[in-house]
Amino acid sequence: MKYIIIILFFSMTSLMALPKEKQLVSSEVAINLLENIKDYAIVLGYGEQEVHTFIDPLCLMSQRYLKLLYKRKKKIFAQYTIYLYLHEIKSKKSKKHILNIINAKSSENMLRAIMLHEESYILKDRIDQKNKNIFNDIARVANKIGVNKRPFIMINGKAK
CATH number for 79: 3.40.30.10
Residue 56 lies in a domain: yes
Query: What pLDDT is recorded for position 19?
Result: 46
Torsion on CA atoms 115, 116, 122, 128, rounded to nearest 10: -40
Asked whether residue 48 is assigned to any structural domain, the reply reads: yes
Q: Tell me which residue range forms the domain holding 147.
A: 22-159
Residue type, 12: M
Average pLDDT score over the chain: 90
Between 152 and 14, residue with greater pLDDT: 152
pLDDT of 21 reads 54
Exposure on the CB side of residue 17, measured as CA atoms within 13 A: 6
3 or 46: which leads in pLDDT: 46
Give every CB contact of residue 31 below 8 A, 6+ residues apart in sequence.
Answer: 156, 157
Convert the pLDDT of each residue in 89-119 to its tens digit.
999 999 999 999 999 999 999 999 999 999 9
What is the sign of the dihedral through the CA atoms of 77, 81, 83 and 89? negative
For 127-147, the pLDDT digits (tens) are: 999 999 999 999 999 999 999
Asked if the structure places residue 90 within a domain, the reply is yes
Q: Which pLDDT score, from 0 to 100, does residue 20 have?
A: 52
DSSP string, 1-47: -HHHHHHHHHHHHHHHTPPPPS-SS-HHHHHHHHHHHGGGSEEEE--
* Number of compact structural domains in the chain: 1
Query: Quick count: other Cβ atoms within 10 Å of Cβ 29?
Result: 14
* Residue 59 placed within a domain: yes
pLDDT band at 12 (very low <50, low <70, confident <90, very high): very low
In the chain, the N- to C-terminal Cα span, in Å, equals 41
Cis? peptide before 19, omega within 30° of 0: no
